[in-house]
Amino acid sequence: MAHDHPQHSDARDHAHDHAHDGTHPDHDAGLADLLDLDAEVLGAYLDEVTAWAAQHAPDDPRRVVDLGAGTGTGTRALGRRFAAARLVAVDRSEAMAQRLRIAADEPGLAGRVEVVLADLDGVWPKVGAVDVAWAASSLHELADPDRVLRDVHAALRPGGLLVVVEMDTLPRFLPDDLGTGRPGLETRLHDALARAGWNAHPDWQPALEQAGFEVAARRTFTLDASPAPARAGRYARAYLSRVRGALDGQLAADDRDTLDRLLAHDGPDSLLRRRDLVVSGTRTAWAARRPLPVSAAPVSAAPVSPESTSAPDDPFSAAMEAFVTMRVLGDSRHGLDSLLDAPGEPAAGP
Ligand SMILES: C[S@@+](CC[C@H](N)C(=O)[O-])C[C@H]1O[C@@H](n2cnc3c(N)ncnc32)[C@H](O)[C@@H]1O
């Protein structure tokens, strides 16, 4: 499954002057700045997502892996939610790994985070047996997400949970009428980005099921930072700078001029000075479990019907009865697995 991931395009990043280390950062460092601003301005919703995820997670998870962890926004939220868990943060970017190592020393996380620099498009990293896996805004960036989903499934303990989060609608910052240029600029930008495949992702449910998961729930979270916090201007500028780079050559001349006035460090239209910004967006999350093996299913608790009190004496009838019983329990997938496949291994991964 191929997905566009223009965040990794060579688009010039106008946010480079916000680098923390004063050096001329590469593209990933620009993305890292943007991720940190996103977390600062919109990150509060993550506690809601992890609370929701915890309802579908095994009790007291011990090992949690954050796939495509970026600067550690998800790792931190997972660390808050699963206070006894060890956390493994995986990313292929050295710029992200540097920030993850800093996050790993923060109070509350110290001693609990392992940073793994690994390309998920290559071989599956040695993360051990996992109770909860998390992939936020990263699955759609992978060259072969179906393969990675199978690897995640194998790494999860039976009953373990994978949470996939994707940005449903891109962040919005601007009022329709900016008082300069043609109204509706941001809508036109979003339309152009959609045509360019920015952030495109499918409904992950079929791919998750194909990889062997049971999708327990799916939920859309609305993000709304209003009134816009002080950092909203910097976030808007970092974000729209990337948009400007990605759409270079595709914008009408007047829209490009308006955008440049917004991106200017100074001037009456500068995003850094405006007081009419809003910050909003939506993200969708899927909670998918690796099913428990059939032997762990509560077959003995099945309501026993009069017809099934005596065990059939041939193996095929016995298997069919077990299947029917599991269907009665609403667990047809386990039943089918038990008849057609070998039960899953108890734990995979080195
Ligand atoms: C849009 S960022 C999301 C970061 C973080 N999950 C968050 O929600 O803030 C996507 C991250 O996935 C990482 N990534 C993309 N492809 C990857 C791959 N093949 N292997 C490992 N990490 C990858 C990128 O380096 C980046 O840090």
Whether residues 272 and 301 fall in one domain: no
**1 lies in some domain:** no
What local confidence, expressed as pLDDT, does residue 50 receive? Answer: 98
Contact status, residue 285 vs residue 291, Cβ threshold 8 Å: no
Whether 92 lines ligand 1, by a CB cut-off of 6 Å, is: yes
The CA-CA-CA angle for residues 325, 330, 331, to 5°, reads: 75
Ligand 1 mean position to 72 CA, how many Å? 10
**285 lies in some domain:** yes
Whether residues 311 and 230 fall in one domain: no
Dist. CA 36–CA 162, nearest whole Å = 23
Q: What is the CATH number of the domain that holds 48?
A: 3.40.50.150
Nearest atom within ligand 1 for CA of residue 7: 1
Whether residues 199 and 134 fall in one domain: yes
Whether residues 309 and 274 fall in one domain: no
Ligand 1 mean position to 137 CA, how many Å? 7
Pick the more confident residue, 57 or 327: 57
In this prediction the pTM is: 0.79
Say if residue 4's pLDDT is above 90. no
Whether 116 lines ligand 1, by a CB cut-off of 6 Å, is: no
**198 lies in some domain:** yes
Whether residues 261 and 298 fall in one domain: no
**346 lies in some domain:** no
210-235: b (≥16 Cβ within 10 Å) or e? ebbbbbeeeeebebebeebeeebbbb
Domain boundary among 254, 272, 289: 289
Whether 199 lines ligand 1, by a CB cut-off of 6 Å, is: no
- 279 pLDDT tier (thresholds 50, 70, 90): very high
**200 lies in some domain:** yes
Whether residues 43 and 131 fall in one domain: yes
Residue-range definition of the domain harbouring residue 68: 6-289
Whether residues 87 and 220 fall in one domain: yes
Whether residues 326 and 206 fall in one domain: no
Whether residues 272 and 259 fall in one domain: yes
Number of domains the chain contains: 2
Say if residue 302's pLDDT is above 90. no
Whether residues 173 and 298 fall in one domain: no
Whether residues 221 and 163 fall in one domain: yes
**347 lies in some domain:** no
Q: What is the pLDDT of residues 171-229, one digit of tens each?
A: 999 999 999 999 999 999 999 999 999 989 999 999 999 999 999 999 999 999 888 89
Nearest atom within ligand 1 for CA of residue 39: 9
- 2 pLDDT tier (thresholds 50, 70, 90): very low
Domain boundary among 249, 270, 289: 289
- 350 pLDDT tier (thresholds 50, 70, 90): very low
- 297 pLDDT tier (thresholds 50, 70, 90): low
**259 lies in some domain:** yes
Whether residues 122 and 194 fall in one domain: yes
Domain boundary among 289, 312, 331: 289
Backbone angles phi, psi at 228, to 5 degrees: -60, 130
Nearest atom within ligand 1 for CA of residue 70: 27
**312 lies in some domain:** yes
What local confidence, expressed as pLDDT, does residue 230 receive? Answer: 87
